[in-house]
Amino acid sequence: MAEWFRRSADKIKTLDKRDTAEGLWIKCPRCAQVVYKRELEKNYHVCISCSHHFRINSSAYLKLLIDNDEYHGIAENVRSVDPLSFKGEKKYSDQLKAAQTKTGLNEAVRVVVGKINGQDTVVAIMDFSYIGGSMGSVVGEKISRAIDHARKRKLPLIIITSSGGARMQEGAYSLMQMAKTSAKLAQYSKDNGLYITILTDPTTGGTSASFAMLGDIILAEPNALIGFAGARVIKQTIGEDLPEGFQRAEFLVEKGFVDNIVHRRDLKRTITQIFNFFGIEKFQNSKVTEIE
Amino acid sequence: MSKYTLEFEESLREIEEKIETVKSTGIKTGVDVTSTVQQLERKLEDKRKSIYKNLSRWDRVQLARHPRRPHSLDYIEMMCDEWMELHGDRYFGDDKAIVSGLAVIAGKSIMIIGQQKGRGTKDNMLRNFGMPRPEGYRKALRLMKLAEKFNIPIVTLIDTPGAYPGLGAEERGQAEAIAKNLKEMAIIGVPIINIVIGEGASGGALGIGVGDRLLCMENTWYSVISPEGCASILFRDATRAKDAADAMKVTSIDLLEMGIADRIIPEPEGSAHMHPKKASEMLKDVILEELAQLVTLNTDDLIENRISKFEKMGKWEEI
């Protein structure tokens, strides 16, 4: 009897409530379409109906970009300390532990060397889920080592950003990471290294005002929030509402600060196209080994 | 306006008012009050000494923002034999929150770039309260490159509550402008001295703050965000700025201990705003002394030292 109420047309899907409860279905925050989780995963975590790019973690990007998901980690043993014995609402050391438990990561960035369509590449990926992807001493150090590795091995460098900015709990140490990573990039650039940044949602504050905006080529995911100051602060300062689409990836292309917007599906292909154009295969390619 | 406007200066104001009262009583009644006045003046100095010996972090933040504190152009005027301001980024406009130009100090050519706050409402509007826009950072870089071409050392004076968080600033690439300065300043082939003369808030300060030496005047602060900003985010209460200043360890003394500042430039008793001329002389002496050391290095060593200075910054452990 119940079957009579089932829709037979493919266009309209009847959702199974039990499945929703078990988290097999996900509602798109943009178009409110409810999609089957496995479908979403197959579509690179991009909404099938409106192309909303869901935030994904570093593991998902590695799977997306690196051939056979095979890579070597760099600077994996660098860990945060609490240099100021920071006393906030929560203890910083507790926050670090909580973030590690929640994400299974040891910091807000991962650095690896792996092949992208056969090309050895140094890839650093930030995780927004780890204390807002904030940059403290360890993020700065790991990014710096990524740049050094790329420079020494003459490999191209890719950084995928997702970060609210510098990590307040480390005070001026965090601020200095902006200068540190930028100085390293200056050296890399002088040596003719190729640096591509991929800005994802969100990339703001000290991260945007340092290595994120220093790519030779700057790509962004659709609709990613990218800017220096937070929207709330700007609103307070100017005392009016912000225009539609302000600080979104498309806005930055319009204003001339991002080269292109790339759908996640096309990301790997686009990177390879850029590599091929600049003749990266001419780089002195050495076997991937871990330097620590 | 009273000379003393800050909370911790209250007791100084009281004594000074008393001195004035005694003096006017003396004039009115013809009684000799000289010894009483002298006594009170001694008391005033003792009190001042004891207050300034025990300044809290928050006290220093307030001194750094003191409305009568000398700003970049005040120091420039006091220190320089010659000064010619140069304007504009050659792309968009001239940012009045950053002043820059050709300075001659003790016979030496120096490119000075400073963040400029205003004094009073009208002047502050003109200077945008010392909050630079992208064109300010681009102007700074243009002139730093010019200095490099002619082997002229660079001095930057940091004094900003932050880069301007406005619509136009975002549209014109605030993040890109700051990022580019960080990268370029790392490899500019002439000595660069960065001096915090007041407030140093966040990337807005760092945007002209990469160099061979970071010097902090005694009553200044420099950190990743303002104490108020930190308080409103991490304590969910902007009024707890005092706690945030302590938590982030924002003062010149903290920065020296953290190994971020290279040196503290002492200020005259009662802070720079009480004795601006004296403060500018102390500043000038340190600039000349530091430059004399830096100019002996060849360009490659200079840049290598600079990069390795930043390379070491931060605290972490390897497990």
- Give pLDDT tens digits for A89-132: 889 999 999 999 999 999 999 999 999 999 999 999 999 999 99
Task: Report the range of poorest mean pLDDT among A26-40, B118-132, B134-148, B209-223.
Answer: A26-40
pLDDT tops 50 at residue A290 = no
Residues in Cβ contact with A164 at an 8 Å cutoff, skipping those fewer than 6 apart: A128, A132, A133, A134, A202, A204, A205, A207
Query: Span A215-244, mean pLDDT?
Result: 93
Closest Cβ opposite residue A214 in set B179, B207, B243 = B179
- The verdict on a CB contact (< 8 Å) between A172 and B248 is yes
> Per the structure block, which two tokens stand in for A89?
């609402």
Predicted pLDDT of residue B84? 98
Q: Among A8-22, B254-268, B282-296, where is mean pLDDT lowest?
A: A8-22
List the beta bridge partners of residue B317: A79
Q: For residues B57-84, give the mean pLDDT.
A: 97
Mean predicted confidence (pLDDT) in B95-117: 98
* pLDDT value of residue A288: 42
DSSP assignment of B168-182: HHHHTTHHHHHHHHH
Q: Find all residues with CB under 8 Å of B268, minimum gap 6, and list them.
A: B274, B275, B278, B279, B282
Element (H, E) at B205: helix B202-206
Listed range (A18-22, A247-251, B65-69, B139-143) with the worst mean pLDDT: A18-22
**How is residue B132 written in tokens?**
């630079």
For range B99-106, the mean pLDDT: 98
**Which chain A residue is nearest to residue B245, measuring alpha carbons?**
A171
User: Strand A217-220 relative to strand A260-261: parallel, antiparallel, unpaired?
Assistant: parallel
Please name the residues between 146 and 185 in chain A that touch chain B, using a CB distance below 8 Å: 166-180, 182-185
SS3 of A14, please?
A: coil
Query: Distance between alpha carbon A102 and the CA centroid of its chain, in Å?
Result: 18
Distance (Å, whole) CA A170 – CA A80: 10
User: What's the one-letter identity of residue A122?
Assistant: V
Q: Coil, helix or strand for B258?
A: coil
Is 0.85 exceeded by the ipTM? Answer: yes
Q: Is the CB of residue B210 less than 8 Å from the CB of residue B310?
A: yes
Query: A40 with A25: CB under 8 angstroms?
Result: no
Confidence (pLDDT) at B202:
96
pLDDT at A143 exceeding the cut of 70: yes
Helical pair A58-65 and A267-278, crossing angle rounded to 10 deg = 60
CA distance B77 to B80: 6
CA distance A156 to A120: 8
B151 pLDDT higher than 80: yes
Average pLDDT over residues B293-319: 97
- Which of these ranges, A126-130, A287-291, B37-41, B131-135, has the smallest mean pLDDT? A287-291
Q: Which residues of B119-155 are buried (b: 16+ CB within 10 A; e: fewer)?
A: eeeeeeeebbbbbbbbbbbbbbbbbbeebbeeebbbb
CB-count burial class (<10 Å; 0-12, 13-18, 19+) for B244: buried
pLDDT digits (tens, 9 = 90+) for B170-180: 999 999 999 99
Q: Which of A171, A112, A111 lies closest to A141 in space, CA to CA? A: A111
Q: Which residue of A has its CA nearest to B312?
A: A180
Q: State how far the Cα of A32 lies from the Cα of B113, in Å rounded to an integer.
A: 51
Average pLDDT over residues A207-226: 98
CB contact under 8 A, A86 and B182: no
Is the torsion defined by CA of B266, B55, B313, B133 positive or negative?
Answer: negative
Band the pLDDT of A17: cuts 50, 70, 90.
Answer: very low
Predicted confidence (pLDDT) per residue in A221-235, tens digit: 999 999 999 988 899
Asked if pLDDT for residue B1 goes beyond 50, the answer is no
**What tens digit of pLDDT does each residue of B231-245 get?**
998 888 889 999 999
Give the up-direction half-sphere exposure of residue B182: CA atoms within 13 A in the CB hemisphere: 33
Count of H helices and E strands in chain A? Answer: 10, 10
Q: Is B302 an 8 Å CB contact of chain A?
A: no
Query: CB–CB of B234/A168 below 8 Å?
Result: yes
* Tokens encoding B260: 């971020």
Q: Is the per-residue pLDDT at A179 higher than 90?
A: yes
B318 touches chain A (CB under 8 A): yes
Going along chain B, which residue ranges are E strands?
82-85, 98-105, 108-115, 154-160, 192-201, 213-217, 221-223, 263-265, 316-318
pLDDT for the residue numbered A5: 58
- pLDDT score at B264: 98
Chain A residue closest to B172 (CA)?
A255
Spatial distance between the Cα atoms of B124 and B79, rounded to a whole number of angstroms: 23
Q: Does the structure show a pLDDT above 70 at B317?
A: yes
**Per-residue pLDDT averaged across B150-164, rounded?**
98
The amino acid at residue A55 is R
End-to-end C-alpha distance for chain B, whole angstroms? 58
pLDDT at A248 over 70: yes
Strand, coil or helix: A136: coil
Q: Chain A residues with CB inside 8 Å of B257's CB?
A: none
pLDDT averaged over chain A?
A: 90
pLDDT score of B255: 98
Q: Which one-letter DSSP state was computed for residue B266?
A: -
- Residue A217: enclosing H or E segment and its boundaries? strand A217-220
B144 touches chain A (CB under 8 A): no
Secondary structure letter of residue A242 according to DSSP: P
Residues of B in contact with A86 (CB under 8 A): 247-248
Average pLDDT of the segment spanning A36-48:
93
Q: Mean of the pLDDT values across residues B127-136?
A: 98
pLDDT for the residue A4:
57
**Band of the pLDDT at B278, cuts 50, 70, 90?**
very high
State percent of chain A over pLDDT 90: 81
Query: What is the rounded CA–CA span in Å between residue B90 and residue B93?
Result: 7
Å from A185 to nearest chain B CA?
7
Q: Is residue A25 predicted with pLDDT exceeding 70?
A: yes
Q: Is the pLDDT of residue A9 over 70?
A: no
First to last CA, chain A: 66
Residue with tokens 């056979």: A68
Q: Rounded to 10 degrees, what is the CA torsion of A264, A266, A271, A276?
A: 180
Between CA A108 and CA A163 the distance in angstroms is 9
**pLDDT value of residue A145:** 98
Q: How far is residue B74's CA from residue B155's CA, in Å, rounded to a whole number? A: 15
Using 50, 70 and 90 to split pLDDT, how confident is the model at A3? low
Whether pLDDT at A77 is above 50: yes
A-B Cβ pairs (cutoff 8 Å, strict): 205
CB distance A242 to A231 below 8 Å: yes
Tokens representing B269 are 């008793």
